[in-house]
Structure 1
Amino acid sequence: MPTTTIDGILTRYEVAGAGPPLLMFSPGGFNASLDTWRSQGVYRRLDLLGHLTARYTCITFDKRETGQSGGRVERIGWRSYALQGKGLLDHLGIERAHLMGGCVGCSIVTTLAVAHPERVSSMVLYSPAGGPRYRMAQHARLGRHLAFVAEHGLAPVAELARGGDSTFTQDPRVGPWVTVLRRDPDFAAAYARGDAERYAVVVTGMSRLLFDRDTVPGPEPEDLMLLDLPALVVPGEDSSHATSAARYLQECLPRADYWDAPVAEQTAETAPKRILEFLASPPPRD
């Protein structure tokens, strides 16, 4: 599978299908690799990627710090992730593309669209991550990681990560850089030698930057309200993908097309058809 370097970070990606370009930001939170489109929950059940590649050139990739992509210890925000997506479009020579996000990918899609609307044809926002319980869970996970660092230091984090296969979601002790620690011995060695106090400041700031509200994190609502791009919003309905999060995007985005379908009605027959219809004929401006 091909790779490229974006902002100094190795990025693994895949291009499949034929037709207009569709850049896809993976679901899966801190484990949002390109494989989650085929392996995780609702996306596996719906086989969205299989349907979309029949009509679109689908570009999937491992978000930085996931899968086989690299990473860097820094205060990561939604713009950090959006920069990776824009860099991949640049690398592939694509001036404008449809964007699709699943779960946390929705926050990255809207961030990229606000920063570079000229690069975006439309947005599909599938089961956006958000809601008060989602924010609380993310803060708690990062807090448990920092508690482990405070007690044991960074070297034991690297040792724990390299000695197991748990994700950050499964075991908060291993931290958000766990996949890079496993794949890159040089990164792991530098991480283990790091200053634990400075690291705690970085992660604390990252927690506040990424998860700062009780709805969909990412751009400010006023920026969304000025975004003149068609968007299909598909709701989730659990503690990490609150229906209120999807309704928030519907309220903020002036050209939102809200598919008011419970998750049980989002089937392999209905969901791909609804997305393909939207991509082919997005709603016009009012």
Structure 2
Amino acid sequence: MALLAIDKGELYYEVSGKADGYPVLLFAPGFLSSRIERWRSNPSNPGVPQAWRDPAPVLEPHFRVISLDVRNAGQSWADIGPDYDWASYTADHLKLLKHLGIGRCHVMGGCIGVSFALALEETAPGTVSAQVLQNPIGLSDTNRAVVDEEVEQWAEKVGQRPEVDKALLKAAGERMFATDFIFSVTRQFTGRCNVPSLLMPGDDTMHPVTVSADLERLTKAEVIAPWKGPDYRDMAIERTRDFLLAHTPKVSA
């Protein structure tokens, strides 16, 4: 168990795999409740395997793998202040990388993890050497009510802590998801982002086909489709491993 002090909070993280391997930072699925266990299981479907493979065991023989519970999810927590936004999360992620002595890394994000990954590269260009974008969330013409419901559920859970100002919490959720696309960055930035990308497209209400289509076009990503379920998830994670290995910077002699 490892905890990193962040601004008015603590970040839970785990490091596994090759101690001298090239680093891979994993952002788990789960919306704003993104935490390590969500790679393996969904609390709303106990005992039912996820439609994807947990990437850590497949990547650990080749890479130094960093996993985390994002702020106010799992074992991580942070104050809800008036400026709480995507930048708050990105500051945590950069602090974790600095704490571990990492200046550059690969990133894999599932669901909201795609938003965290792209925000990291926008804030600190050159940090991400290759990215795997799995099942990205985003806004479509028909899912605003579902997105708002997810925000409300997160706020209800975090708001159970007695020290949390519920008005600031509500404002934070509204502010973070007031925009379109994948919420954390614009299409304009994504079109300028030249990080090698591998995309596993979304195909449901919270992970719209249209958002993945935009990501594919803007990032010129390689695409795995289909990739979910028992018939495809082994192939998808093996291709993920091979993609990251192919884009790992060579160490000069």
Same fold (TM over 0.5): yes
Identify the residue that residue 28 of structure 1 maps to in structure 2.
30
TM-superposed deviation, 1:175: 4.1
TM-superposed deviation, 1:59: 0.5
TM-superposed deviation, 1:60: 0.5
> Which of 56, 60, 72 lines up with 2:63 in the alignment?
56
TM-superposed deviation, 1:260: 3.2
Which structure features the higher share of strand residues?
A: 2
The SS at the match of 1:27 is coil
1:71 equivalent to 2:36? Answer: no
1:5 equivalent to 2:9? Answer: no
Structure 2 residue identity aligned to 1:24: L
Identify the residue that residue 276 of structure 1 maps to in structure 2.
241
Larger Rg: 1
The 1:141/1:20 distance shift into structure 2, 3 A limit, reads closer
Normalising by structure 2, we get a TM-score of: 0.84
Following the alignment from structure 1 to structure 2, what is the Cα–Cα distance between the partners of residues 6 and 205? 18
Following the alignment from structure 2 to structure 1, what is the Cα–Cα distance between the partners of residues 57 and 51? 10
Identify the residue that residue 238 of structure 1 maps to in structure 2.
204
1:90 equivalent to 2:98? Answer: yes
Identify the residue that residue 41 of structure 2 maps to in structure 1.
39
The SS at the match of 1:270 is helix
The 1:231/1:42 distance shift into structure 2, 3 A limit, reads farther
Following the alignment from structure 1 to structure 2, what is the Cα–Cα distance between the partners of residues 44 and 259? 14
Structure 2 residue identity aligned to 1:246: S
1:204 equivalent to 2:171? Answer: yes
Runs of 4+ in structure 1 deviating by more than 6 angstroms, as ranges, are none
8 Å contact kept, 1:47–1:268 = no
**Gaps spanning 5+ residues in structure 2: where?**
43-47, 249-253
Which structure features the higher share of helix residues?
A: 1
Identify the residue that residue 188 of structure 2 maps to in structure 1.
222
The 1:131/1:80 distance shift into structure 2, 3 A limit, reads same
